Amino acid sequence: MKTELIKAVAPTRICDVGGWTDTHFAKFGSIFNIAIYPYVEVQICTLPSINTDNRIVISADNYGDTYSISPNKIGYGKHPMLEAAIKKMSIPENISFKINIYSYAPPGASMGTSAAVSVALIGALDALTPNHLTAHEVAAFAHSIETDELNLECGIQDQMSSAYGGINFIDMYKYPHASISKVQTDPKTLWELEQRLLLVYIGTPHCSSEVHKKVISNLGINAYKDNRICRLRELASMAKNALFDNDLNALGYIFNENTNIQRALHKELVCDKFEEIISIAKEFNAIGCKVNGAGGDGGSIAILTNGDMAVKRKMEKIIVEKGYYTLPVYLSADGLKVWKTKTVNH
C-alpha cells in the first residue's frame, strides 16, 4: 500500500545574547542568537483510511508516547503544544495521518527546542493545506500558540531563529513585532566559531515559563526601563558588531557579560552546575560562557573556547567526568525546511 511522506526539519539555537528583551514586559528589544544543528525533525505519513474519531496519530519519540486524537475534539493532554498546533491549523477533513516527532537536542535543554518542534510541525502541517505560510508567518504562528493559546510566558526569538536559521540579529521594535537580519561575516570566522564552540547539557531540563514568572515578579511594572534589560539590548548589538568585525575575543567577552546580567536578574538563573562548568572553562582559558535561554536549574551552556583544540578536548573530558553531557554543534545557515518524498510502500 502506498502513501505520501511530508518531512520538515528546523534548527535549535544557542548563545542568545539579549534574551529577556524579546518579551512582553521588555516591550522592545534586541537579540543576537546562533541557529544550530542538532535539529528537530517532523514526519507526516498520510494514511489511506479515515477514522473520523481519531484520524491523527501523534508519535513523540523522545518521550515514547504514541496516541490518537481527533482535530475537532482536542483537549490538551500529553503534549499540549503539539495538540494546539494541530487544533489551530486548518487540517483537511478528508485525510488521516501519523505525525512522528523527534528532537536531536534533549527536551528542556534551553536551546529553543520546543519552539523548533512547533516551527517544524507547523511547517509540515502547512504542506497539507492549500495555503503557504512564509517563515515569518510560521514563527509568529508558533509564538501565538505558546502565548495566546496555552498562556505560557515566551519571548519571540526562538521561533524566529528556528524559522530563519543562520546567525541572527532580531530587532523587536514593539512586542511581538520584529524584523530579523542575518549577520554576515567572513566564512573563515564561521568555521573558527563552529570549531571553538562547546555545548554542555547539565542533565536536567528546565521550564522557561516558570523561570520567566520569577524574573517578571522581580523586575516589577517598569521592567522595560530596568538598567539590566537596557544593558542586554546593548549587548545584542555589540555581539552583532563583533561578528561583523570577525572578533571572536569580543564575542566571548559579550557572552560573559550577558551571563553576568542573567545572574543579576535572578539568583536562580545561573545555578550551581552552571557555575561549576564556568569555573572549569576558566581553568582552560575559555574566552566566554553563555548560559542558554532563560537559564535556571536545568538546560545548557555554550562555551567559546580559545581556539586550541587540544585544550578544548582536555576541558571536555573533565566536564564529562563531572557527569555533564556535551552535544555536537554545527552552524545552521538554513531555517525551516519542508519537502515531500515520492510515495513509498507502507
Taking the domains of the chain in order of start, what are their residue ranges?
2-183+332-341, 187-331
Q: What is the DSSP string of 26-59?
A: T-SEEEEEEEEEEEEEEEEEEESS--SSS-EEEE
Predicted pLDDT at 343: 65
Which run of H or E residues covers position 192? helix 187-196
pLDDT at 1 over 60: no
Lowest mean pLDDT among 20-24, 105-109, 242-246: 105-109
Residue range 256-277: average pLDDT? Answer: 95
The CATH homologous superfamily for domain 187-331 is GHMP kinase, C-terminal domain (3.30.70.890)
Cβ neighbours, 10 Å, residue 46: 17
Cβ neighbours, 10 Å, residue 327: 20
Give the model's confidence band at 2: pLDDT under 50 very low, under 70 low, under 90 confident, else very high: low
Query: Three-state DSSP class for 152?
Result: coil
pLDDT at 51 over 70: no
**Residue 7 pairs with which residues in a beta bridge?**
43, 339
- Rg (C-alpha) for the chain, rounded Å, is 20
- Report how far residue 305's alpha carbon sits from residue 38's, in angstroms, rounded to the nearest whole number: 20
Q: Distance between alpha carbon 144 and the CA centroid of its chain, in Å?
A: 15
87 or 29, higher pLDDT: 29
pLDDT at 212 over 80: no
Residue range 5-20: average pLDDT? Answer: 97
Q: What are the tens digits of pLDDT across the range 40-50?
A: 999 999 887 66
Predicted pLDDT at 74: 73
Give the model's confidence band at 294: pLDDT under 50 very low, under 70 low, under 90 confident, else very high: confident
Residue range 315-321: average pLDDT? Answer: 98
Distance of CA 309 to CAs 284, 285, 304, 305, Å?
11, 12, 12, 8
Domain 2-183+332-341 and domain 187-331, same fold? Reply is no
Phi-psi region of 246 (alpha: psi -120 to 50; beta: other; left: phi over 0): left
296 or 289, higher pLDDT: 289
C-alpha cell at 321: 567526568
Entry pTM: 0.93
Residue range 268-275: average pLDDT? Answer: 95
Domain 2-183+332-341 in this protein, CATH class: alpha beta
Predicted pLDDT at 93: 79
Q: What percent of the chain has pLDDT over 70?
A: 96
Q: What is the DSSP string of 77-132?
A: -S-HHHHHHHHHS---TT-EEEEEEEESSPTTSSSSHHHHHHHHHHHHHHTTSS--
Q: Distance between alpha carbon 35 and the CA centroid of its chain, in Å?
A: 8
Average pLDDT for the chain: 92
Q: What are the tens digits of pLDDT across the range 130-188?
A: 889 999 999 999 999 999 999 888 899 999 999 999 999 999 999 999 999 999 999 99
